[in-house]
């Protein structure tokens, strides 16, 4: 729990757009020192200029979170400039769609590198310095927020790599919460599980490394991308609203953060499938027309 954010330090990955940028904007308004990390240099520069103009003290570094050494350099720069961060938002992520067997090895490497290893590197680098700050000062408080997805609690079809990566983030963060509780009461953790929100994640390919370039898109990938674009475009919850939920959760020491609480009904159905050992429920049971549309598109 962080009761007062003023003069505290926040590290945010994926800070050039979406939830990262909106959280940085809130942090600036609250008087926080900001460490911004993003792989897209122009977006990072724009964010740094905007937040500096708002009066925030900003350290901005281009970082590919899938690279251990780059996250380690981010940690060293943060510690040298501001000391241990009070809030770490491991938020950088990429999206991917398509039938599981049509995804390439490069698809798996890219998505897991950013979505899973990016979070793991952030936890590995920043948690020790936060724990040290807590040991040095009984009044010190810190919090780690990892961005997963509702796809980390559900298994929607035609997006298996993304689902698997976000389930990993949920499990990682739940375990982090339990591990922290074993050693301290001064550092907390939360997992953010958003639904369809316009953040730019549906255009993740813009930042895909050349050495992990995709092959020619398959039918399932084209269909999945079109459906993703439509769902995100129709979203009624903004990234700014979700960012406020993040700060509210950190202040309240709330673990699970949802952008669309009504979606939890689908999670309950999945849990009941598991408990009752019944086969997975049709994910389109509440909107059968979507299932008909997807099956028709995939079967040609």
How many of the other CB atoms lie within 10 Å of CB of 30?
15
Angle (deg, nearest 10), helices 105-112 and 160-183: 30
For residue 12, the cross-strand partners are: 36, 89
Closest CA to 199 of 148, 257, 240: 240
For residue 26, what are its two tokens?
């809130």
Provide the edge-to-edge strand list for the sheet that holds 142-147: 58-62, 33-38, 9-13, 87-90, 142-147, 187-193, 256-258
Partner residues linked to 58 by β-bridges: 34
Pick the catalytic residue from 162, 177, 195, 258. 162
Q: Is residue 107 within 8 Å of 161, Cβ to Cβ?
A: yes
Give CA 247 to chain center in angstroms: 14
* CA distances for 146 relative to 143, 192, 207, angstroms: 10, 6, 20
Cβ count near 192 (within 10 Å): 26
Are the beta carbons of 155 and 280 closer than 8 angstroms? Answer: yes
8 Å CB contact between 257 and 192: yes
DSSP letters, 44-71, are: HHHHHHHHHHTT--EEEEE--TT-HHHH
Q: What is the 3-state secondary structure (H, E, C) of 138-171?
A: CCCCEEEEEECCHHHCCCCCCEHHHHHHHHHHHH
Let me know if 258 is a catalytic residue: no
Catalytic residues: 162
């Amino acid at each position: 729990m962080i009761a007062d954010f003023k003069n505290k330090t926040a590290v945010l990955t994926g800070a050039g757009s979406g939830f990262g940028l909106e959280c940085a904007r809130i942090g600036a308004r609250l008087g926080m020192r900001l460490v911004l990390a993003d792989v897209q240099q122009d977006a990072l520069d724009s964010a740094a200029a905007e937040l500096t103009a708002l009066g925030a003290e900003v350290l901005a570094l281009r970082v590919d979170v899938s690279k251990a050494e780059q996250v380690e350099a981010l940690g060293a720069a943060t510690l040298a400039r501001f000391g241990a961060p009070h809030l770490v938002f491991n938020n950088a992520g990429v999206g991917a769609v398509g039938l599981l067997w049509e995804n390439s090895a490069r698809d798996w490497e890219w998505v897991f590198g950013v979505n899973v290893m990016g979070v793991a590197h952030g936890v590995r680098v920043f948690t020790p310095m936060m724990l040290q700050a807590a040991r040095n000062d009984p009044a010190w408080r810190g919090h780690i927020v990892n961005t997963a997805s509702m796809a980390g609690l559900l298994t929607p079809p035609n997006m298996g790599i993304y689902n698997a990566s976000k389930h990993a983030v949920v499990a990682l963060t739940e375990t982090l919460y339990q591990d922290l509780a074993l050693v301290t009461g001064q550092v907390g953790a939360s997992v953010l599980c958003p639904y369809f929100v316009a953040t730019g994640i549906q255009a993740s390919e813009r930042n895909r490394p050349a050495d992990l370039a995709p092959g020619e898109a398959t039918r399932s990938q084209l269909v999945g991308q079109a459906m993703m674009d439509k769902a995100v475009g129709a979203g009624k919850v903004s990234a700014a609203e979700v960012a406020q939920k993040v700060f509210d959760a950190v202040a309240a020491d709330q673990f699970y953060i949802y952008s669309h609480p009504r979606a939890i009904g689908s999670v309950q159905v999945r849990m009941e499938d598991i408990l009752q050992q019944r086969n997975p429920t049709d994910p389109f049971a509440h909107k059968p027309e979507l299932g008909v549309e997807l099956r028709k598109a995939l079967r040609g």
